[in-house]
Amino acid sequence: MSAVTDTVKPQVAGSGISGSVRDSLVVAKRNLIRMTRIPEMILFGIIQPVMFVVLFTYVFGGSIAIPGAGVSADAYKEFLMAGIFAQTVTFATAGAGAGIADDMHKGLIDRFRSLPMARGAVLTGRTLADSVQTAITLAVLAVVALLVGWRTHTNIGEVLAGFGLLLLLGYAFTWIGALIGLSVRTPEAATSGGLIWLFPLTFISNAFVPVNGMPAFLQHVAEWNPFSATVAAARELFGNTIPGVPKSVTGAWPMEHPIWASLIWSILIIVVFRTLAVRKYRNASA
C-alpha cells in the first residue's frame, strides 16, 4: 500500500516588468478603494488649496508688483495660479508619507511581504494612488481658479502639458514622502517630516512673489529650485508670462529653459528617491 503525498507549490509572482506593473496596479486599486470609503481624505485635501487660492488672490493680489505689469490684481492672479497648483501637488508628499507610515505601523506591510509580489509594487502602487487623488484635487482647484478670474492664453495641448508637468512633479515628490514614511515610526512624525522641508522649498521660489525682490543669494537658490522650474514651465505653457520680461534675474539655466528643467528635475527626483525608498523598504522588511 503506497501513500500518496500532495505537494502544494507556492505561488510565484509574475516576473519582469509586466509582473511588477500588474502588482503595482493591484496595490494602487486597493488604495483608491480605501480613498472612496474615506471621502474626507479627498475633501480636506481640496479645502486647503482652495483657501490658498482665495486668500492669496484677494489679500495679496492688489499689493504685489509683478515685473512688467506693476501692482495689478489681474496680473497677480495669472502669476499666482501656477504657484498654487505646484504647491498643491507637492504638499501631497505629507499624505503619502503618513499613509505609508500608517501601513507600517499597522503591520500591513508585513502582510504584503507574505504575498508573491514584486517588492517595489507596494510603494509604486501607493504613489500612483496618491497621484490620482492629487489629479482630482488639481482639477477642482483649476475650476476654482477660473471662477476667481484666472485665464490661460494658449491652446488646450499646452495647457494639458502644463498640468502634466505639475502632476509629474507631484509624483516625484511622493517618492520623497514614501522615503520619509519608511524612515519614521508614526504617521504623525511622517506628516511633520513631510511638511517641515516643504515650506522653505515652496516659499524660496518664484511661486508667490517675483524673485527680483529677494536678496541676491536667495535669487540664485530660488532659480535653481526644482519647484521654481515647474512653476515657470507651467506659467509658460499656460501663457501666463509677460512678453518682454526676462525669464531669469540671475541667468540660471532652469529659468531660461523651464520646461526641460522641470522634466529633468522630476525624473531625477523619481530615480533617486524611488531607489532609496525601495532599498529602505527591502531593508525594513528583511
Higher-scoring residue by pLDDT: 205, 61: 205
pTM: 0.87
Calculate the CA dihedral of residues 152, 153, 156, 158 and round it to 10 degrees. -100
C-beta of residue 222 within 8 angstroms of C-beta of residue 202: no
Q: For residues 115-141, give the mean pLDDT.
A: 86
Q: For residues 9-32, give the mean pLDDT.
A: 71
Q: Which range (2-11, 151-160, 171-180, 196-205) has the least confidence? A: 2-11
> Per-residue pLDDT tens for 173-226?
999 998 998 888 788 888 888 788 998 999 999 999 999 989 999 999 999 999
The residue whose grid cell reads 495647457 is 159
Q: For residues 46-70, give the mean pLDDT.
A: 82
Q: Report the 10 Å Cβ neighbour count for 117.
A: 21
Q: Which of 222, 218, 232, 221 is nearest to 263 (CA)?
A: 232
For the cut 70, the answer to whether the pLDDT of residue 14 exceeds it is no
> Per-residue pLDDT tens for 227-272?
999 999 999 999 999 888 889 999 999 999 999 999 999 999 999 9
pLDDT of residue 4: 40
pLDDT of residue 46: 83
Q: Which of 285, 282, 270 is nearest to 128 (CA)?
A: 270
The residue whose grid cell reads 525608498 is 277
